[in-house]
Structure 1
């Protein structure tokens, strides 16, 4: 890194990762009484955007950027609780597709409520303009980190 911006980038990435770690820790603690973790909540959230769409583990691995064993373990835990259902693939008997259940949508709503206080605390010091700018910057960063 010879760029003049390198020290600022290094400071920014350290602060971003520390903030993300702290927020993750607090959200995990808030979700623990529900018996759900942040990975499971993230999967439920992903499914909630298209609740009638069933996806394979491979598709989930790609879109969620979580390794296959991690997705498989999280889906198994959610399925055991009836929050997602596994469906046989119509074209390939080896493949199971997964979709959210009504109970999963309800659990996600409860998880969002439980996770809200630490999220609100993390963003509470930002005014509307700062929050809009921060969100815009995150969208740009996320796009530059797209997994191909």
Structure 2
């Protein structure tokens, strides 16, 4: 259904996906209503953050002295990336965790686990949608 007109999209026009965790209206606005741009951003999200949780769990478990500052920088980048695709809740949580980490209110391991769970759920949803779209020829 087209959110603006409440009618299905015209024949041959791919519908904007309704992905859990993504505010479609925000994504459409950011992408200028370009589904192709949105798809490219989702590919970049999976490419750049597909291993985020596992990579950061390994880093914080090793206890590197610079890992806290690096994790804050990574959370900041993730917040921006999540915002561009309309993953508003993920962006909010990443920003909150970044702030809490800087203030010493949360430990790096807890920060990675909290954001990682949310990110991983989103990545699974995105991956399933991409596979489905590819199977449909989209």
The TM tier, using the shorter chain, reads 0.3 to 0.5
Choose 1 or 2 for highest CA Rg: 1
Higher strand share: 1
TM-score between the two structures when normalised by the length of structure 2: 0.33
Task: Tell me which of the two structures has the higher relative contact order, counting C-alpha pairs closer than 8 angstroms and 6 or more residues apart.
Answer: 2
